Amino acid sequence: MALELPERLDYLLSWVKEFEFVDQGLRFEDLCDGVIISKILVSVSPCSFSASWYSRIRSGGGISSVHKCFNLNHIVGAISQFFENVIGQNLAIFQLPNVSLIAEKNDVGELLRLLQLVICCAVNGENKEKYIQAILIMERAVQQAIMESVQEVMNETSSKGDELSLMSKSDRDDAFAHKCHELEAKISQLEAEKATAEAELEDALRKIALLEEHSGDSGGIGDGSETVGSVAATLQLRQLQEKLHNVQVELFQAEADSQEAKLRLSEALVTIEDLRKMNEALTLEVSRTAHFKDELDIAREEMQAANRQVASLEQWKKRRAEEMVALRVRCSKLEEDNAACLKVLDELKQANRLNSSLRANAEASRNQSVEANSRVSELELRTMQLEEELKQARADLQGSLRENQTLLEEMRRLREHHEKAFTSTDLEAGDRLSQLQSSLNLPSKPVESNESGDQEITSDAVYEIEQRYRGYLAKALEVIRQLNRRVVAAETAAVNQNCEQKPDSEVSRLQALLAEKESIIEQLERHYEQARRQRDLEDRMVLTAWYHLGMRVNRAHTERLLHEEASSGASSSFAAFQSWSYASHWTIPLILDFYGRLLPFFPLCIFVYRISPGLILFELTFYLFAHPLIC
């Protein structure tokens, strides 16, 4: 948050009041004469602002604006030297305060700028730790105002320093020349003012002399008026003398500034001349350096080309050595592969013998599988028939079970009825017998003449009872026969049920046969898979033998070419090696063409190998078909 000028000035005045020799009732108008500011500078940095420097400050009551301006100019000059010598920055870059406005009008903004410079001197002088510590223990607002003032001065100084450093030499010369012209114009103006002041002074002196002569001639007439006139003349004379003195001071200051500007201008001209000479020397050095750089670039390009050629030569040598090593390694590897191939071929011979027996076993297993399939089909048909019969028997069994249930219920009902009937007939017979016995046991009161008639009546009753018992017995026998028939029917149903259980055992036997058939089929499939793998392995081994044989022929051809080159002595030159490498480069397409021509004869060689798996017959077959193509 930016502060207003009066607030910032109040904060800076509070910092000024921290000094022992400053009154607490200080106002900013009291600082415009420069006396208190000079004391502050002496206490801040005694080395830069010495006692001799302070002795030139004019103090006392009733200081005129000219003296104030002189004091402030003296202070600003010392501060500029302090910035150049201690801080290392040229204060001419910074916008200096206008001392005339401070001295004549008590300008707040210019006084604030001067106090900012004084604070920068305090925080960069010999006793800066003391004043920095004093600032840190002050109020936060005062600290912020002081820090902003210092930061503003340093930032503006650095920014304007950068701008001036970017200015060209001609701009600096123009600035110095313009300042010199301004100072000369100011000097001429001050000289004119001095001349006018001297003329006015001479007129005043002449008037005073005339007045004195006139007063002497008049002899005391008008003493009061003469006294007033002399007093007025004396006052005017004093004013003119004071004005003349001020003009002399300004003239002296202007002459000093002019001399300083002339000295700076002469120094700048000397510096410009030195820089021009240095620039010419550097231009010559740059042209010479550019020439040397061009020659160095040419030499560097030539060296790079030579290095590339040397690198390519080394690369060719390295590649040749690597190719030779690779060929040797490849030859040794091919020999090892050939030995391994021979070993594998021996193993394949033994495996082929085993395979032939496995084929016979597989054929027998295949025949067994066909027979088992036929048997399984027959068993399946029989199983289907038995399943149909089983379904029919189960239906009959269900009917017989229902009929058996009804018969059992009927037999139970008849048995209950028989028991009821038997008990009722027994009771009736017992009653009848008791009645007969009672009748027979009656007292024999009739006469003997009636004895024969009574015997006949008794025999008839007994016969009737016997007939009745025989009827009851026949009924009982009939019931027993019916029960026997029902028992026979139940036994027949049980026998039929046993007969139905026999197809279930047959089905279980057929299921066991099916499981056995499936196990046989799985075993035959395993044998077939093993035979197929063995056949694939044989084919791969034949292909490997074919490849190694071709590589052996290629190796023999390569060794023959190397031997011919070595015998002819052509390998001693690099160009001959290049031509040989070019020829060997074209060997690979010729080999590929050779394998392409041999491709139609490959099935025939495989057929011969399957007929006779011996390695000698295989190689003989290969050379019979391959030798004309190779030649």
Q: Would you state the pLDDT for residue 221?
A: 40
- Residue 589: its pLDDT value, please? 46
Pairwise pLDDT comparison (498 vs 41), residue with the higher score: 41
C-alpha dist (Å) from residue 75 to 39, 83, 242, 278, 401: 10, 12, 23, 38, 144
Residue 348 banded pLDDT, cuts 50, 70, 90: confident
Rank 226-235, 344-353, 481-490, 512-521 by mean pLDDT and report only the highest.
Answer: 344-353
Residue 563 structure tokens: 């031997």
Average confidence score pLDDT of the chain: 71
Examine the fold and report which residue of 141, 166, 191 is the final residue of a domain before the chain moves on: 166
- Quote the pTM value: 0.31
Examine residue 135 and state whether it is found in any structural domain, yes or no. Answer: yes
- List Cβ neighbours of 305 (8 Å cut-off, separation of 6 or more): none
Taking a C-beta distance cutoff of 8 angstroms, is the pair 68, 31 a contact?
Answer: no
Most confident of 34-38, 84-88, 167-171, 567-571: 34-38
Return the pLDDT at 458.
47
Find the domain containing 566 and state its range: 537-630
Residue 162 pLDDT: 46
User: How many domains is the chain built from?
Assistant: 2
Residue 343 maps to a domain: no
Give pLDDT tens digits for 544-596: 877 788 788 888 888 888 888 777 654 444 455 445 444 444 444 444 454 45
E strands, 141-187, in order: none
pLDDT at 141: 83
pLDDT at 304: 87
What is the pLDDT at residue 615? Answer: 44
Which of 28-32, 263-267, 554-558 shows the lowest per-residue confidence on average (mean pLDDT)? 263-267
**Per-residue confidence band for 227, with pLDDT thresholds at 50, 70 and 90:** low
CB 364 within 8 A of CB 471: no
State mean pLDDT over 417-441: 59
Task: Tell me: pLDDT of 106 over 50.
Answer: yes
Question: In the predicted model, what is the mean pLDDT of residues 293-313?
Answer: 87
The reply to whether 113 falls in a domain is yes
The band of 488, judged by pLDDT with boundaries at 50, 70 and 90, is low
Whether 12 contacts 146, CB under 8 Å: yes
Q: Tell me, what's the pLDDT at 522?
A: 78
What is the arithmetic mean of pLDDT over 489-511? 60
Worst-scoring range by mean pLDDT, 110-114, 198-202, 619-623?
A: 619-623
Where a domain ends, among 109, 132, 166?
A: 166
Per-residue pLDDT, 288: 82
Q: What is the mean pLDDT of residues 90-118?
A: 78
Distances in Å between the Cα of 191 and the Cα atoms of 100, 237, 259 are 19, 20, 16
Q: What pLDDT score does 454 carry?
A: 44
CA dihedral 418, 421, 426, 432 (to 10 degrees): -150
51 falls within a domain: yes
Query: SS3 for 208?
Result: helix
Burial of 622 (0-12, 13-18, 19+ CB in 10 A): buried
Q: What pLDDT is recorded for position 460?
A: 61
Environment class of 224 (CB within 10 Å of its CB; exposed 0-12, middle 13-18, buried 19+): exposed
End residue of a domain, out of 147, 166, 185: 166
Per-residue pLDDT for 199 more than 60? yes
Whether 32 contacts 102, CB under 8 Å: yes
DSSP at 4 = P
pLDDT (0 to 100) of residue 472: 56
**What pLDDT is stored for residue 449 in this prediction?**
43
Residue 329 belongs to some domain of the structure: no
* pLDDT value, residue 453: 46
* Residue 625 pLDDT greater than 70, yes or no: no
Using DSSP, state whether 390 is helix, strand or coil: helix
Q: What's the rounded Cα separation, in Å, for the pair 434 and 375?
A: 83
Instruction: Provide the token pair at 622.
Output: 């290969």
* Residue 148, domain CATH: 1.10.418.10
pLDDT-wise least confident of 124-128, 309-313, 588-592: 588-592
68 in a domain, yes or no? yes
> What is the distance between the alpha carbons of residues 212 and 206, in angstroms, rounded to a whole number?
10
Q: Is residue 616 pLDDT above 70, yes or no?
A: no
Widest distance between CA atoms in the chain: 253
Is residue 503 scored above 60 in pLDDT? Answer: no
Give the lowest-confidence range in 79-93, 155-169, 334-348: 155-169
Residue 142 domain-assigned?
Answer: yes
At 229, the pLDDT band (50, 70, 90 cuts) reads low
| Residue 530 forms part of a structural domain | no
| Entry field: residues in the chain | 631
Strands (E), 276-430: none
